[in-house]
Structure 1
Amino acid sequence: MCRACVSIPANIAEGCGSKGKAELARFLQISVGSASELESYLLLVRDLQLLKSPK
């Protein structure tokens, strides 16, 4: 989960520093993939009830 969290802004930053719109779009798409990966982890944590609700 941590890797996916860090990957999202890192790829956006790398894309913003790239040379051209095509490369920026590529890095943004990678970021979207990392966000989807993170979402799937969070859904799994919820479904498996791995975290307890705060009291």
Structure 2
Amino acid sequence: MAHIKASTLGNNFTIPISKGQFNIGIWQGIYPGEHRNHGGKRPLVTTIQGEGQ
């Protein structure tokens, strides 16, 4: 079942950042979630790429 959820919902997302701030609309939010019966601590991996100006 986990493979179906991962292939349907994906397992990563992109957050645009401009000038050190999240570049999302006023009514937009970031809501990562898990579909598990028993949660636990999970590592968060952040990859930053782009150009500095």
TM-score by length of 2: 0.26
Q: Which has the higher contact order (CA 8 A, sep 6+)?
A: 1
Name the one with the larger helix percent. Answer: 1
